[in-house]
C-alpha cells in the first residue's frame, strides 16, 4: 500500500471563508462563527485512493496583511494551493495581484510549478455578487499559474468536495500517479 502526502496552502484576504471551507470539507458541517485565523492553522485529511492512502496537509493562512510575511516560507514544499476570494466583496478579488506576488515569491523555491486553483466563495450569496463569473474566468485565463476556477459555498456545501478533489487530481497528475 502506497502512502502519498500533499501539502496544500490556502491563501486570500481575511473573512473570505478559507477556514469555513476547510471546516466544511473536513467535517461536512457549516459553522457560521469561526474565530479569525492568527498566523496559520494546520489540518490533516486522509483519503483512500486506488489501494493507497493520500494524506492532505492543509495549511490555512491568515488573510490580514500583518501575517503575509510568513506565507513565502510556508509555501516551501507545497504540492498545491488555493487562492480564495469572496464573490460578494470586490476588494478580496482586487487583491489577487498582491496575493500572487507573495505566492510567487514563496513558490519559486519549489522545484516544480505548484498547481493553483482560484476559488470564489459564498456562492450561496449570488444575489449579492460583486465579482462576475466572467471577470474571474478572465483572470484565470490571463494568469499562467492558475489551473482551474471554481465557485463554492461552505454554507450549502456546493463544490466544496469538488475543490479539494480537483486539486488532489492536479497534484497526483503532476507526480504521474494518475
Residue whose C-alpha is closest to residue 86's, from 32, 140, 138, 123: 123
Provide mean pLDDT across the span 95-106: 84
Out of 77-81, 94-98, 134-138, 169-173, give the one with best mean pLDDT. 134-138
DSSP class of residue 77 equals: T
Instruction: Check whether 84 has a pLDDT greater than 90.
Output: yes
Instruction: Check whether 147 has a pLDDT greater than 80.
Output: yes
Contact between 121 and 153 (Cβ < 8 Å)? yes
Mean pLDDT across the chain, nearest whole number?
86
Contact between 57 and 5 (Cβ < 8 Å)? yes
Mutual angle of helices 160-174 and 18-27, in 10-degree steps: 90
**DSSP-derived 3-state class of residue 73:** helix
Provide mean pLDDT across the span 52-75: 73
Burial class (CB in 10 A: 0-12, 13-18, 19+), 29: exposed
Instruction: Check whether 63 has a pLDDT greater than 70.
Output: no
Set out the domains of the chain in order of their start, with CATH numbers.
Answer: 3-174 (3.40.50.300)
- pLDDT value of residue 144: 84
pLDDT-derived band at 22, boundaries 50, 70, 90: very high
Provide mean pLDDT across the span 142-148: 88
- pLDDT value of residue 106: 73
Neighbours of 73 (CB within 10 A): 10
Amino acid at each position: 500500500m502506497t502512502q502519498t502526502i500533499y501539502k496544500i496552502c490556502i491563501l486570500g484576504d481575511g473573512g473570505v471563508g478559507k477556514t469555513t471551507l476547510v471546516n466544511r470539507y473536513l467535517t461536512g458541517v457549516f459553522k457560521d462563527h469561526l474565530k479569525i485565523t492568527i498566523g496559520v492553522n494546520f489540518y490533516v485529511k486522509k483519503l483512500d485512493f486506488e489501494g493507497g492512502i493520500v494524506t492532505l496537509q492543509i495549511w490555512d493562512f491568515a488573510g490580514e496583511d500583518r501575517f503575509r510575511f510568513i506565507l513565502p516560507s510556508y509555501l516551501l514544499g507545497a504540492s498545491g494551493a488555493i487562492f480564495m476570494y469572496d464573490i460578494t466583496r470586490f476588494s478580496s478579488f482586487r487583491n489577487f495581484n498582491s496575493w500572487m506576488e507573495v505566492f510567487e515569491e514563496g513558490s519559486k523555491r519549489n522545484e516544480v510549478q505548484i498547481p493553483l486553483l482560484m476559488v470564489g466563495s459564498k456562492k450561496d450569496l449570488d444575489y449579492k455578487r460583486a465579482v462576475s463569473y466572467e471577470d474571474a474566468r478572465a483572470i484565470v485565463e490571463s494568469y499562467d499559474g492558475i489551473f482551474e476556477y471554481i465557485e463554492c459555498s461552505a454554507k450549502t456545501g456546493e463544490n466544496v468536495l469538488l475543490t479539494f478533489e480537483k486539486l488532489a487530481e492536479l497534484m497526483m497528475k503532476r507526480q504521474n500517479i494518475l
